[in-house]
A and B are shown apart, each in its own frame.
Chain A
Amino acid sequence: MKAVSSTLASGNVAEIDAALTNIRMAGKEGGKGATAPLAARLKNGLPKELLKKALETIGELEDPAAAESCEAYLAHRDPEVRLAAVRCLGGAKGPAATKALRVALADLDVRVHGLAATLLGEAKAAEAVPELVVALDKGVNEAAVSIGQLCEGKAGSDKSCDALTERLKSKPLDVIASGLQQVLTRKDVPDDYKKNIIKVVRELSSAKAREVLESVKKGYPKDGSKAVLDALDKAIKDLEGAK
């Protein structure tokens, strides 16, 4: 890693580019010691393409210590750089990265806030559900899946999965279904809550609703609750012939 450090500190584009490739190839384990020299390099600035590559590389190290370096570039005027910074945060993980992803969710660029919404779900940032709901209402469809992954399977909280069912009629069904599918396949959500979701979808009485439920059934875990599966089957049967 000593060699990597000195290469990264150099002013040679080709050498730095090669060093970044090597770090990526070394992967999470092999590139462990590269976080600090990469962070130092990022702090001193780089040309755009190299900067994006450096951000993605440091992200791939999955080192929470990289979050600060990633976050700094959420302030870059170029949305492509910010997008790379969000990917970087998604890789870095950890509380600091999650916090920064929540900041990125408010970015004006559609690609940046869309990716942040997705990565918040992957980061299991349950505290971000209320913001994801706001994002969903503002047309960030990616937020639906994340809400489905993170929401609470009970009513009456600002993190409740009810946020999805409540939007079944105001948002495109495909979008909300992508989130509900997550809820229905989660093991931590009570069966009764899932059955209620199935009931709400069935009440839409449309072919589209049946397609959604069939899709859920298709991806339903083999070790999933039989009661939920039965409810799915019944709802699908009820919706046969629905237009």
Chain B
Amino acid sequence: MTGRSFVLGLLVGSLGLAGLACAGASSDLVAVDGPAFSQEAINDDANQKAQVSVLDRLQKQPAAPGADAVVAVTGTAELTGLDLASGKTWSYKHPLDHRPQLTGTVVVGTGNGELFVLDAKTGAEKWKSSKAKGKLVGAGSDGKYVAVTLKADSGHKLVVFGPDGSVKMEKATDQPLTSPGISAGLVLVPWKNLYVSAFEIETGAQLATFITDTETTHVVTWGGAVFAGQGRLVRFDKDLLKAKQGGSQLAAPPKELPNVSRRDLLVGPDHDERTTADAIDSTGLTGRPLTSGPAGFESGKIYGGYYPFVFGMDAKTAKLSWVHTGKDDFVAIHAGKDGVVGVDKAGTVKLLAAGNGALVKSFPLGKPALSADILADTLAIGSGSSAPLPEQIKEATTLKDDRLSTAQVWFLDTAAAVPDEATTEVLLQVADSERAAPAIKEASRKAIALRTNGAAAMITLLGRHANFLKGTRTPPVGPMAKALAVMKEKKAVQPLIEQLLDPTLPQIDLQDTAESVAVLAEKEHLPQLQRFMNMYRGSATGNIRLVDSIAAIAAAIIRIDDKGRDFVVAVTKDAFTDADVKLTLEKLLAASAPKKDDKKDDGKDDGKDDKKKKKKVTDDDPTPPGYKKKKAEEGKKKDEKKEEKKEEKKD
């Protein structure tokens, strides 16, 4: 049997069984002949006319408002629902073999071989049916009709039920059908992940088939409009006819989406076969597409979930707007018009404002949620106050949980891009936190090193030293030192030197601290710098960071003191100076030696500092004057001794 004849066979069989005829469509619609769910007639004139008529019907008869509700699986055979408007909960017991779905104003579930439909607001059972044979794939409703797609051994089926649970329409095919939607008396069924076919429910007439030009596993009705897609959502309006040319109103998440939450706005229906939430549910992405005008998202936001986090992002740039940190992992999130609704594992339903993530309301389901579905079609979440973004990021990034580091690093990167002092303080707190995971601390340390403000907070933090009795720890000195050096913050020198001379300064911070001290130190700090060199020059071999730190301090000594070079030369020559230190200091001395032609290469000649210039040009000896004088004296003494010996020999 060919695919087509199989379809026809199924179709005829189903029509015969249901006793339904493919009658002509209503007068405003155009019926299309041929097998259902076939792409053969897509480019025919009839289909194109039918497409226009379907879109006209959808525009004239906006989709009925859906519920504002939550339904959660709270047991192996138990559902708990919540009316988001009143906060009232309900429960319903029924075996479950598929995650229940909220669509229109109803909850559709299956289990124990029957389909059940409940009022989403109250949980009241509307009807049950055993006529939906097969495994539930998806469901759609406008509150009056309920359409389900099913997968059976014989193929795929679409069954549409009337308000009393009677079968109004049934279609069979070998094409994979996914999650349908109902609007304006039409059922719109996605198939083969690319097409959507429309049927008139009352007449059973086959109308148009559309190409969405985006992966399509769902048809949904939100805010009176109809959308289809999965990762992106295309609006069913006249522009849909230009989909192939890229002219449709396609609401797409931004390309810059962080690698944190999932990439698709909706999840493939096969995922809902599991009644318990998984990582896909806890890393959700949601956005409410605009119902008119150019494609986009309500409030200019899309929302991501990442275990205990829900965050708002700019819908065009994916820039983080806010992050809410919950106590428990979220198992579902769903965008409303002005915010997002989330359900966590503990069974708490949270309403978060679009603008700042303020927790506007929260409702308890009264039981932990194994999984949940949310619909917030008309709900106005409203607004509230929340902590500023840097504080929200601090809360999110100091949560110690290895699963969260990907998101936490992204939050910190976001914070690092905010150049204000408050953010610097937050980065300091994260880097200094005992609770933050190592990867997060590292990310905040990197960000701190690049800050150009917050010096006062850094200096205050530098005042804290590790102390066994007080139970205090060394702060993140290295990155602060780097930032303070770039800021040329002279007030930081003494606290930095004190950290440098503190034995508890971690090895990782040692070199950055020494190098920053070297940049900032002045003559008054010379004794402390010399102390550091003397303390370690004899016991640094093998410790590269310590050796390089000694070299940095030596460079500072040369820079700030006229006799600094003598000191460093003396240290280099001292028998107790380690070999590694000697080698490094010798290189430093060679590199920093005054050069004969320093000024010759300098094309500028402003006539100033003539004396200095003359001195440098004529002085080709790298040793400083003091050292030269000492050497000259030593040489003189040697000469005198030689003379004495000569005279002794003569005698």
Contact = CB atoms under 8 A, between A and B. Distances in A.
B466 interface: yes
Contacts of A134: 469
B501 A75 contact: yes
Contact of A77 (B503, B533, B538, B575): B503
Interface string B493-528: 000000001111100000000000000000000000
Given A105-B469, A106-B468, A135-B469, A11 B538 contact: no
A218 B503 CA distance: 44
A45 B468 contact: no
Interface in B195-229: none
B470 interface: yes
A113 B539 contact: no
B470 A106 contact: yes
Nearest to B470: A106
Contacts of A50: 538, 576
Given A106-B468, A113-B468, A47 B538 contact: yes
A47 B576 contact: yes
B124 interface: no
A45 B575 CA distance: 11
A82 interface: yes
A46 B574 CA distance: 10
B22 to A, nearest CB: 84
Nearest to B541: A47
Contacts of B501: 75
A199 interface: no
Interface in A7-57: 11-13, 43-48, 50-51
A75 B503 CA distance: 5
B537 interface: yes
Interface in B247-286: none
B535 to A, nearest CB: 6
A223 to B, nearest CB: 38
Contacts of B546: 77
Interface in A47-77: 47-48, 50-51, 72-77
B535 A45 contact: yes
B538 A48 contact: yes
B534 interface: yes
B503 A45 contact: no
A166 interface: no
B531 interface: yes
Main secondary structure on A side of the interface with B: helix
Nearest to B466: A108
A226 interface: no
Given A51-B538, A72-B531, A106 B575 contact: no
A78 interface: yes
A84 to B, nearest CB: 12
A127 interface: no
B578 interface: yes
B371 to A, nearest CB: 48
B536 interface: yes
Nearest to B578: A47
Nearest to A41: B576
A57 B615 CA distance: 49
A134 B539 CA distance: 34
Interface in A183-239: none
A174 interface: no
Interface string B569-586: 000001110100000000
A135 B538 CA distance: 33
B469 A77 contact: no
Given A45-B576, A47-B578, A108 B536 contact: no
A8 to B, nearest CB: 11
B466 A45 contact: no
A138 interface: yes
Interface in A94-119: 105-108, 113
Interface string B300-320: 000000000000000000000
A182 to B, nearest CB: 21
A50 B577 CA distance: 13
A44 B539 contact: no
B112 interface: no
Given A11-B574, A11-B576, A76-B503, A108 B468 contact: yes
B510 to A, nearest CB: 8
A138 B469 CA distance: 8
A46 B470 contact: no
A169 to B, nearest CB: 23
Contact of A76 (B469, B470, B533, B535): B535
B500 to A, nearest CB: 10
B245 interface: no
A46 B571 CA distance: 11
A45 B470 contact: no
A45 B578 contact: no
A34 B231 CA distance: 83
Nearest to A49: B539
Contacts of B538: 45-48, 50-51
A51 B535 CA distance: 10
Interface string B463-475: 0001111110000
Nearest to A12: B575
Given A106-B470, A107-B468, A138-B468, A77 B531 contact: no
Contacts of A77: 503, 505, 536, 546
Contacts of A13: 575-576
Which of A76, A113, A135: most chain B Cβ within 10 A? A76
4 smallest CB-CB distances across A and B, nearest first, come from A11-B575, A45-B534, A48-B539, A47-B538
19 contacts: A11-B575, A13-B576, A43-B534, A45-B538, A45-B576, A46-B538, A48-B539, A50-B538, A75-B501, A75-B502, A76-B535, A77-B503, A106-B468, A106-B469, A107-B468, A107-B503, A108-B468, A108-B504, A131-B469
Interface of A: 11-13, 43-48, 50-51, 72-79, 81-82, 105-108, 113, 131, 134-135, 138
Given A43-B534, A75-B503, A76-B535, 6 more contacts: A44-B574, A45-B537, A50-B576, A75-B501, A75-B502, A81-B539
